[in-house]
Chains A and B, each alone.
Chain A
Amino acid sequence: MAIPDSIYGLFPGPHSAERGMNALRAAGIAADKIVVLAPEPFEEYSFAQGERKTRMPWFAALGGLIGGTCGYLLGRYTQTAYPLITGGMPIVAAWPTGIVTYELTMMGAIVTTLITLLIGARLPNWKPKLYDPQVSHGKILIGVVDPPDEARADLEQRLRRAGAEQVKSTGAPPK
Chain B
Amino acid sequence: MAAKTPEHINEDLLRPLSGTSARYWIVFGCLVAVVAAAIGAFGWQVYHGIGVAGIRRPVFWGFYITNFVFWIGLSHAGTLISAILRLANATWRRPITRCAEVITVFALLIGATFPVVHLGRPWLAFWLFPYPSERGIWPNIRSPLLWDFFAINTYLLGSVTFLLLPMIPDFALIRDRATGGKKKIYTALSLGWCGSPRQWHRLEKAMQIMAVAIIPVAVSVHSIVSWDFAMAPVPMWHSTIFAPYFVAGAIFSGIAALIIAMACLRKLLHLEEYLLPIHFENLGKLLLVMSLLWVYFVFAERLTTWYGNESSEMAVFWLTQTGSYSPLFWTMVTCNFLIPFPLLAIKKFRTITGCVIASIGIVIGMWLERFLIIVPSLSHKYLPYSWGTYRPTWVEITITVGTFAAMALLYMLFSKFVPIISVWELKWGQHQEPERDPVLLREDEEATA
Q: Mark B407-449, 1 if CB is under 8 A from A, else 0.
A: 0000000000000000010011001101001011001000000
**In the complex the two chains form, is A99's CB within 8 Å of B193's CB?**
no
Chain A min CB distance to B87 (Å): 14
Q: Are B209 and A15 in contact (CB under 8 A)?
A: no
User: Which residues of chain A are within 8 angstroms of B254 by Cβ–Cβ distance?
Assistant: none
Q: Pick out which of these stretches binds chain A: B39-47, B212-220, B288-296, B311-319.
A: B212-220
Residue B199, interface by CB 8 Å:
yes
Residue ID in chain A nearest B436 by CB atoms: A15
Distance, CA A84 to CA B138, complexed state (A): 11
Do B176 and A43 touch across chains, with their CB atoms under 8 A apart?
Answer: no
A109 CA to B158 CA in the complex, in Å? 10
Query: Size of chain B's interface in residues, with CB distance under 8 A?
Result: 67
The complex places the Cα of A84 from the Cα of B217 at a distance, in Å, of 29
The reply to whether A124 and B201 form a contact with Cβ atoms under 8 Å apart is no
Q: Roughly how many angstroms separate A39 CA and B427 CA in the complex, as a whole number?
A: 9
Q: How far is the CA of A37 from the CA of B191 in the complex (A)?
A: 16
Pick from B143, B200, B209: contact of A56, CB below 8 A.
B209
- Asked if A44 and B197 make an inter-chain contact with CB atoms under 8 angstroms apart, the answer reads no
With contacts A41-B204, A103-B151, A117-B203 known, is A109 near B192, CB below 8 A?
no
- Interface residue ranges of A100-129 to B (CB < 8 Å): 100, 102-104, 106-107, 109-111, 113-114, 116-118, 120-127, 129
Is B434 in contact with A44, judged by CB distance below 8 angstroms? Answer: yes
Within 8 A of A (CB), among B106-165: 130, 132, 136-143, 146-147, 150-151, 153-154, 157-158, 161, 165
- A82's partner among B137, B143, B199 (CB-CB below 8 A) is B137
B205 adjacent to A54 (CB under 8 Å): yes
A73: shortest Cβ distance to chain B, in Å?
12
Majority SS of interface residues in chain A? helix
A121 to B169, CA, bound (A): 12
B204: chain A residues at CB < 8 Å are 41, 43
Give the residues in chain A near B217, CB-CB below 8 Å.
103, 106, 110
A residues near B440, Cβ cutoff 8 Å: 15, 18-19
What are 30 residue pairs bridging A and B, where the CB atoms are less than 8 Å apart in the complex?
A14-B434, A19-B439, A36-B197, A37-B195, A37-B196, A39-B424, A40-B431, A42-B200, A43-B201, A44-B432, A48-B200, A78-B138, A78-B141, A81-B136, A81-B138, A82-B136, A96-B143, A99-B147, A100-B147, A103-B150, A103-B151, A103-B154, A103-B217, A107-B158, A110-B214, A114-B165, A120-B202, A121-B203, A123-B168, A138-B427
